[in-house]
Amino acid sequence: MTCEKDKMISGAFYQPGDPQLVRERARNQELQRRYNATTVSDQDTRITILDEWLGGRGENCALRTPFYADYGYNIHLGDNVFFNYGCVVLDVCEVRIGDMTQIGPYVQILTADHPRDAASRDAGLEFGQPVKIGRNVWIGGGALILPGVEIGDDAIVGAGAVVTRNVAQGVTVAGNPARPLVPHA
């Protein structure tokens, strides 16, 4: 039988109260607390914590504090990725973010989801779907990226958008639910 962590990462139903997952969330909270206690001038300390916390990061990544995650180890950042203040990444599944992507304040990237049927929710089951954000993407403040979404290279997500579907390369989306904006001639 597969362990609950393997189920979680694969997107299958899993029990979030599993002792291993509880320990890993506690570890995450400790790393998160340490990171969020730093300032921009603590660059060496920040790099050390990020290297222990995240699944991978490229060069010159900047994550303004506070920054929040479920586990951290499912987050993979390319080079020159920027997160502004107050971002949340619920990373029960993999989150991949490409080089040069800029993420505004209070953006939420969610891989965590819950069953639609009441019996599975009553059983305490959860599941997730990975999120992939391409290269050179700009995500405006307060946007919400839902589980399973892929955002193509060079796309723009408007401030406050709720992204429920994939966004094609080079497309600008805005609104709730996010829809492509028609360029003006």
- Reduced to 3 states, what is the DSSP secondary structure of residue 110? strand
Record the tokens describing residue 72, joined without a space.
């951290």
- The answer, yes or no, to whether the previous bond of 66 is cis (omega within 30 of 0) is yes
Q: Kindly state the tokens that stand for 44.
A: 């060496």
Annotated catalytic, 114?
Answer: yes
The residue type found at 156 is I
Other beta carbons less than 10 A from residue 137's beta carbon: 23
- With beta carbons less than 8 A apart as the criterion, state whether 57 and 80 touch: no
Tokens 């919400």 sit on residue:
144
Concatenated DSSP letters of 68-96: EESSSTTEEE-TT-EE-TTEEEE-SS-EE
Q: Residue 152: helix, strand or coil by DSSP? A: coil
SS3 142: coil
Catalytic residue among 17, 37, 51, 114: 114
Distance, first Cα to last Cα, the chain = 58
Catalytic residue numbers read: 114
